[in-house]
Structure 1
Amino acid sequence: MNFLNLFQFVFRCLTAAMGFYYLLKQKYKIMGSLILILALSFLPEFSNWFMGITIDPYSIIIYLIVLFMALFLGSSLCYYDRYSWWDRTIHFLSGVGFVGFGAAIIKTNADSKKAVILLFGFTFSVTLHIIWEVLEYVSDCLSHGNAQRWQKIHSSVNHVSEKALQPAGLVDTMNDTICCMTGAAAAAAVWWFFI
């Protein structure tokens, strides 16, 4: 058993055990996020089995870490409100991880050059981020939530400085985008020189 298989096995066992624990505690919202994490953890295998897209182990590990950080720790345990750096860290890591997903998609075409593979990986990662920000915006509009930290009075903590020149929602979205692009560029550079 290689490291990736061991990591996935332990990750899924711990996620299922925590889901069972929160079921016994009757905390169904948290249990629901753990079920979603468990289901989404099979996406890399699904893409390999049904589409022939093989994602590298590093990107899969980062993807699983981002899933856990965002859906369980961030949303369910409110780490987004506790730590001002939490959201930016997740966007940076997702930028890093999804470059590998994009590279895996385009590498199904064997004639692709390395520069094209990395450019596609970078743009794929940033595009997923933009789609995520649009979904946050739509969610905020429909549910009057505060995922983009645009509301001045809300139960969530707004980590944007009062001295910011722009509205908090714009600052949050731009910080997220910059972190994602930085992570994607760093991952593309690592791919270029080492992989």
Structure 2
Amino acid sequence: MNRVSKITIVILLVFELVIMSIGLKAFWENRWKDLGLAALSMAALFVPYLINSLGNRMKLKLPPGFLPISFIFIFLTQYFGEIKKFYQTFWWWDLFLHGAFGALAVLFAIYVFNSSLKKRDQQLQKRFAIFIGIISFCFSVTCSSIWEIFEFVSDMILPEKMVKGGLEDTMTDLIMGAMAALITAIAYYFLGKSSGRVKENL
């Protein structure tokens, strides 16, 4: 069972209240674009909670700290990135987040697979490490692609340009996420190989 701690709930409530205050101010000042962005950000913060609930229903063990890390990451992308315009202020902000997302998605997949599947001998563990590394890399790249789709669809719904540089921005984000995912997956494999077993606590 993936429990939701009190600290996690506090983090979620604080983030929601901060964004809600932005939305209420935008509504009062008739800034409908900012209001829509605030509403989108508040909805996005509930996605990790839905994933956690789905994991409990499917009896999948999620990584420790999944919820607070997810909430913080979404807050960095939506509040600081979109609302506070960090994407325009710091050229590296978008690349940093995509790289971090690529690595975190690999670690997430590795933990879920290692917690769900069983290994019977050392030789199988080595093969298992290769399999998990490849599948986790693919999972991360898929999540990065879904992120780009989300940005594209958001640009169609809201008068907000999340995809700042068109095709170049999209491909740069995907490449950054894929590189971080690949490095993390390779590091996982060699870490497991050098220790003689797959680390389940990654």
Give the structure-2-normalised TM-score: 0.69
**Among 92, 105, 123, which residue is 1:98 paired with?**
105
**Among 135, 139, 150, which residue is 1:120 paired with?**
135
Aligned to 1:109: 117
Residue 50 in structure 1 maps to residue 47 in structure 2: no
Contact 2:106-2:140 at 8 Å conserved across structures: yes
| Distance in 1 between residues matched to 2:81 and 2:95, nearest whole Å | 11
Give how far 1:34 is off: 4.4
Residue 183 in structure 1 maps to residue 198 in structure 2: no
User: Structure 1: which amino acid aligns with 2:168?
Assistant: V
| Distance in 2 between residues matched to 1:144 and 1:31, nearest whole Å | 13
Give the structure-1-normalised TM-score: 0.71
User: Structure 2: which amino acid aligns with 1:116?
Assistant: F
Contact 2:37-2:158 at 8 Å conserved across structures: no
**Among 72, 79, 92, which residue is 2:79 paired with?**
72
| Distance in 1 between residues matched to 2:111 and 2:58, nearest whole Å | 11
Give how far 1:50 is off: 1.2
Figure out how many residues of one structure are paired with residues of the other and give that number: 174
- The 5 A counterparts of 1:1-195 are 5=5, 8-22=8-22, 25=25, 27=27, 28-29=35-36, 31-57=38-64, 60-107=67-114, 108-111=116-119, 113-140=128-155, 146-150=161-165, 169-192=166-189, 193=191, 195=202
| Distance in 2 between residues matched to 1:21 and 1:139, nearest whole Å | 21
SS in 1 for 2:45: helix
| Distance in 1 between residues matched to 2:104 and 2:98, nearest whole Å | 10
User: Structure 1: which amino acid aligns with 2:118?
Assistant: A
C-alpha distance 188-138 of structure 1, shift in aligned 2 (>3 A): same
C-alpha distance 63-115 of structure 1, shift in aligned 2 (>3 A): farther
User: Structure 2: which amino acid aligns with 1:188?
Assistant: A
